[in-house]
């Protein structure tokens, strides 16, 4: 008992030390550099995660089952590969982190690496007095395996290093093992007629150039953000005759500039290069940070707002959402974006998923796509749609805005909304890495930065409403994967999500029927995604799973979260994300996860991996695998573990500037205007009053479309237009 108390005390002291260390003042450290000892630690982690296997392990690796045989010499070369010996990779990793992470994160990472060079601290973290880089590969592997199943601070360390190292290695353009695992790199059709025949149809955008001395501009409306909300409201207001400026903190990439390579695309198009995470590393978030926002990099899934959610919002005083007017807004949006299910062609992974649902009598259906009737067989669309088939903001709303006279600024960070006498009168911004100053004066300011950045901008601008940043919903998601060694699936080919299962396993009777629970969809398993969503268990297991990359069917379990997190800002006004999944939402998602396991088993998977480090893969051995006693035990263990130690992510961020009937519970009124400041509106995912339970793009567009109509109506009534 005494030993246990001492151990817990040490854990507590380590946690306090970490918190003080990580929250200490951040110095200007860019360009980020590491000393020799820190590099040794980073190499040691790299050489543990992608380790040189011994002869016995290589024999096991050679037995990895795949329908299409892999050259044994290539497998041996892969098995002998030691990432710690690749100096060029360490340089790539440092350069990439330097590009995508904020200084605070880089500073924290430097401090963590330093801890592993201090013997007493290293002992507390690893159980070994020697620095981490002096341990044997086996000892390092055992340390990381223990971390993955331990207290939250150790799990955070494990997630941090496994994510940044494996993600960067497998995403790199020149990854030497792409051919070994059968991955083609960019879409082989990248320069086919699918691209060349449509090249002249792709819209081209011009951007206002801000000179070194700065610039002042005057517009009727400035829209901050160009995604699902900003693009729509800019288009509608410009068409109504307003002089509109759209500001985007990311950059515009024409279809000809989309390389469809993993690392290049993710660094250019995603927030923090795909490495955005909540405080404490509890949740990985994927969010667009480019012209067109999330509509540029999403999977084209286009659901309307479910009726049960519309009724829920109406019951809270937002009657508009059950009106014919909102129906009209959704219809206008889906028509402009070419939403339908008519051209869907199911690829191999979707066919397998549907077959599993059929055998279990589970619900399944086609997922609507915004592809204007095109058979959009593109698993690379998460890296931008090079073929212009996906009808995101770039191809629709922003084009409409451009054609109606709207102007654009890119690579522009808005520091604050300018406020005078309780009225928004413009914005102050900086452009480019040299921070050229831009002042825009306007009659109205529309904040459409998304659920992470919109509340941060409002806070930087001095808004005091206590609800700013509250009610963050993330659709927490978990990926599970079934292996089908007899079928070459290549999940990154074909439509990303052409089918889904609407299984809402709400385990709580009080809220049953209110659309909480889990939706099951498919996902494309590009190497960087596969390496970071299929749990790392050992150097051998990781290499075995990557050799079978083309034989995985990945299911994404997405929860409609009932309980929320929040956004606040650091000393520089940058957003910090706080989110811990509640027990309620965890239990519901766990039931969805179990349904996903059953679907894969019914479809004939030979092994199933879930996002739990402490739970081994399930391998059916019975003729009827659904009756396998080991499956029952596997499911019981899933329920026992829950989502506590899981790889949880989010591709949908909602709330934080909530719409409501009064200022005590919301940030904006039912017409999108902030309660606190006149002429200041919010029109993006942040105004959504709750989580949706479906991919939110169409809802965001429809709400922004409605707010644009409200602005036009109000100005017509008051004579301001």
Q: Characterize the bridge pairing of strands 339-340 and 369-370.
A: antiparallel
Pick the closest to residue 46 from 201, 202, 167, 156 (CA basis). 167
* Given the residues 515, 526, 542, 652, the one annotated as active site: 652
Tokens coding 369: 């796509």
Q: How far apart are CA 542 and CA 613, in angstroms?
A: 12
Q: Where is 90: in which H helix or E strand? A: helix 87-100
What number of helices (H) and strands (E) belong to the chain?
24, 21
- In the DSSP assignment, the letter for residue 202 is S
* Contact (Cβ atoms closer than 8 angstroms) between residue 340 and residue 303: no
Q: Would residue 542 show up in a list of annotated catalytic residues for this protein?
A: no
Structure tokens at 585: 């939402």
Tokens of 350: 């979707």
For every residue of 561-625, DSSP letters joined together read: -SS-BEEEE-TTS-EEEE----HHHHHHHHHHHHHHHHHHHHHT-SEEE-S-TTSPPB---SSSG
Rounded-to-10 torsion of CA 378, 381, 385, 387? -10
Helix (H, G, I), strand (E, B) or coil at 479: strand
Three-state DSSP class for 430? strand
**Residue 650: closest CA among 681, 691, 621, 607:** 691
Terminal-to-terminal C-alpha distance of the chain: 75
Residues 6+ apart with CB under 8 A from 688: 473, 654, 655, 658, 659, 696, 699, 700, 703
* Beta-carbon contacts of residue 171 (< 8 Å; ≥ 6 apart): 262, 263, 266, 526, 527, 528
DSSP 533-568: HSPP--HHHHHHHHHTGGGEEEEEEEEE-SS-BEEE
Helix, strand, or coil (residue 223): strand
Residue 227 DSSP symbol: S
The encoded tokens of residue 44 equal: 């040691």
Burial track 610-620 (b if 16+ CB lie within 10 A, e otherwise): bbbbebebbeb
360-397 CB burial, b ≥16 within 10 A, e <16: bebebebbbbbbbebebbbbbbbbbbbbbbbbbbbbbb
174/190 Cα distance (integer angstroms) = 17
**Other CB atoms within 10 Å distance of the CB of residue 623:** 7
List Cα–Cα distances, 58 to 51, 74, 143, 218, 547, in angstroms.
11, 11, 22, 66, 13
Rounded Cα distance, 477 and 559, in Å: 6
Whole-Å CA distances, 560 to 15, 281, 389, 452, 475? 32, 21, 29, 18, 5
For residue 476, give the nearest of 593, 312, 345, 397 by alpha carbon.
593
Say how far apart CA 110 and CA 303 lie, in whole Å: 43
Report residue 484: phi and psi, to 5°: -125, 80
Active site (catalytic) residues: 652
């Amino acid at each position: 008992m005494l030993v246990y108390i001492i151990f817990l005390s040490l854990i507590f002291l380590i946690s306090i030390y970490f918190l003080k260390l990580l929250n200490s003042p951040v110095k200007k450290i860019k360009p980020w550099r590491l000393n020799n000892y820190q590099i040794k630690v980073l190499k040691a982690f790299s050489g543990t995660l992608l380790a040189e296997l011994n002869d016995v392990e290589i024999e096991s690796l050679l037995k990895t089952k795949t329908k299409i045989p892999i050259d044994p010499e290539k497998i041996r070369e892969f098995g002998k590969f030691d990432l710690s010996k690749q100096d060029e990779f360490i340089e790539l990793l440092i350069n990439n982190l330097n590009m995508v992470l904020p200084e605070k994160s880089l500073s924290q990472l430097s401090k963590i690496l330093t801890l592993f060079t201090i013997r007493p601290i290293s002992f507390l973290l690893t159980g070994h007095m020697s620095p981490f880089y002096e341990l044997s590969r086996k000892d390092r592997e055992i340390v990381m395996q223990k971390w993955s199943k331990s207290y939250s601070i150790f799990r955070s360390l494990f997630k941090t290093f496994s994510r940044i190292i494996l993600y960067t290695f497998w995403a790199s353009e020149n990854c030497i093992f792409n051919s070994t695992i059968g991955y083609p790199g960019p879409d082989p059709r990248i320069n086919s007629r699918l691209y060349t025949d449509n090249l002249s149809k792709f819209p081209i955008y011009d951007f206002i150039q801000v000179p070194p001395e700065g610039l002042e501009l005057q517009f009727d409306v400035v829209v901050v953000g160009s995604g699902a909300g900003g693009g729509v409201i800019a288009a509608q207001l410009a068409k109504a005759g307003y002089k509109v400026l759209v500001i985007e903190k990311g950059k515009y990439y024409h279809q000809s500039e989309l390389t469809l390579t993993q690392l290049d695309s993710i660094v250019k198009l995603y927030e923090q290069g795909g490495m955005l995470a909540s405080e404490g590393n509890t949740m990985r978030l994927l969010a667009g940070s480019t012209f067109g926002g999330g509509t540029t990099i999403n999977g084209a899934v286009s659901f309307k707002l479910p009726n049960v959610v519309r009724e829920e919002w109406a019951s809270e005083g937002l009657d508009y959402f059950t009106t014919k007017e909102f129906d009209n807004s959704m219809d206008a949006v889906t028509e402009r974006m070419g939403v339908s299910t008519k051209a869907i062609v199911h690829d191999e992974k979707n066919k397998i998923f549907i077959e599993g649902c059929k055998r279990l009598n589970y619900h399944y259906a086609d997922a609507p796509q915004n592809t204007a009737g095109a058979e959009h067989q593109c698993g690379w669309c998460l890296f931008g749609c090079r073929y212009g088939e996906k009808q995101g903001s770039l191809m629709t709303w922003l084009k409409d805005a451009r054609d109606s006279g709207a102007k654009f600024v890119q690579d522009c960070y808005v520091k604050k909304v300018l406020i005078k006498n309780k009225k928004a009168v413009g914005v102050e911004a900086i452009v480019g890495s040299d921070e050229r100053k831009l002042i825009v004066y306007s009659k109205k300011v529309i904040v459409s930065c998304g659920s992470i950045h919109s509340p941060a901008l409002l806070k930087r601008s001095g808004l005091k409403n206590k609800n700013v940043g509250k009610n963050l919903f993330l659709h927490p998601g978990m990926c599970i994967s079934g292996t089908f060694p007899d079928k070459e699936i290549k999940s990154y080919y074909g439509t990303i999500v052409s089918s889904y299962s609407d299984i809402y396993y709400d385990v709580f009777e009080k809220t049953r029927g209110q659309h909480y629970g889990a939706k099951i969809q498919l996902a494309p398993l590009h190497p960087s995604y596969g390496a970071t969503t299929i749990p790392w268990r050992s150097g051998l297991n990781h290499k075995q799973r990557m050799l079978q990359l083309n034989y995985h069917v990945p299911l994404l379990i997405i929860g409609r979260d009932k309980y929320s997190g929040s956004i606040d800002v650091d000393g520089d006004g940058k957003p910090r994300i706080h989110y811990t999944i509640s027990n309620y939402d965890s239990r519901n998602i766990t039931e969805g996860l179990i349904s996903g396991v059953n679907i894969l088993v019914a479809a004939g998977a030979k092994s199933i991996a879930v996002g739990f480090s402490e739970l081994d893969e399930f391998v059916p051995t019975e003729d009827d695998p659904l009756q396998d006693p080991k499956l029952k035990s596997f499911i019981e263990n899933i329920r026992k573990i829950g989502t506590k130690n899981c790889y949880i992510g989010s591709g949908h961020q909602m709330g934080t500037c909530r719409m409501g009937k009064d200022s005590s519970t919301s940030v904006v009124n039912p017409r999108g205007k902030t309660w606190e400041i006149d002429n200041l509106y919010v029109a993006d995912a942040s105004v959504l009053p709750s989580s949706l339970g479906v991919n939110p793009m169409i809802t965001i567009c429809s709400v922004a479309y409605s707010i644009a109509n409200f602005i036009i109506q109000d100005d017509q009534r008051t004579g301001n237009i």
